[in-house]
């Protein structure tokens, strides 16, 4: 069986930056399981995995436009500390869930705190970066109807939304 749309795929991967720094890895942990064709992983990696089989190994470089996008300065803004109701300590690097203009939930990162002003960044932490993936395909199976309907794989345990 090869990787194609509507297949549940398990991969082991290591993600590194241009300088070789390891940004993320599943090695030594459970593999990453995703639904191919459902935008569960970055587009550049998904395209590189198309047609691969269990045991195949792939090394791919994903440019920002096929990864987490370009870094957009307009996604950085300054808000009042009062937007963080119930949070006593706000420090750079903290991440919070916020409502995006389209009503969806997004993660914002605190970049700077200056008195009552808090600078937040809604860019993905890897936006603007070239991504280097070393991937091994460890499993491929047909997706269940429920997985296709939900747009992502489910594990063996019951799945609630």
Look up the pTM and report it.
0.83
Same domain, 131 and 57: yes
Tokens (6 digits) for 3: 């990787």
Position 157 scores a pLDDT of 53
CATH number at residue 79: 2.40.10.330
What is the number of domains present in the chain? 2
Same domain, 80 and 116: yes
pLDDT for residue 84 is more than 80: yes
Tokens (6 digits) for 61: 């470089």
Domain that holds residue 82: 73-121
Same domain, 48 and 62: yes
Tell me the C-alpha distance between 62 and 18, whole Å.
11
Per residue in 47-80, pLDDT (tens digit) is 999 999 999 999 999 999 999 999 999 999 999 9
Cα–Cα nearest to 45, from 117, 146, 133: 133
- Do the domain assignments include residue 160? no
CB-CB contact of 127 with 64 (8 Å): yes
Per residue in 30-51, pLDDT (tens digit) is 999 999 999 999 999 999 999 9
Position 105 scores a pLDDT of 86
Position 159 scores a pLDDT of 52
Give the mean pLDDT of the chain: 93
Same domain, 106 and 145: no
Per residue in 115-145, pLDDT (tens digit) is 999 999 999 999 999 999 999 999 999 999 9
Same domain, 64 and 136: yes
3-state secondary structure of 70: coil
């Amino acid at each position: 069986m090869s990787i194609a749309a509507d297949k549940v795929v398990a991969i082991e991967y290591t993600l590194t930056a241009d300088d070789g720094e390891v940004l993320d890895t599943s090695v030594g942990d459970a593999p990453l399981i995703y639904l191919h064709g459902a935008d569960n992983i970055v587009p550049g990696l998904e395209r590189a995995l198309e047609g691969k089989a269990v045991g195949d190994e792939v090394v791919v470089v994903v440019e920002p436009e096929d990864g987490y996008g370009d870094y957009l300065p307009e996604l950085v803004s300054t808000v009042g500390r009062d937007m963080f109701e119930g949070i006593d300590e706000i420090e750079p690097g903290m991440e919070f869930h916020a409502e995006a203009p389209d009503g969806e939930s997004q993660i914002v990162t605190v970049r700077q705190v200056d008195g009552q002003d808090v600078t937040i960044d809604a860019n993905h932490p890897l936006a603007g970066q070239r991504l280097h993936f070393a991937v091994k395909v460890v499993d491929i199976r047909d997706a269940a109807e429920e997985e296709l309907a939900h747009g992502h794989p489910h594990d063996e345990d019951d799945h609630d939304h």
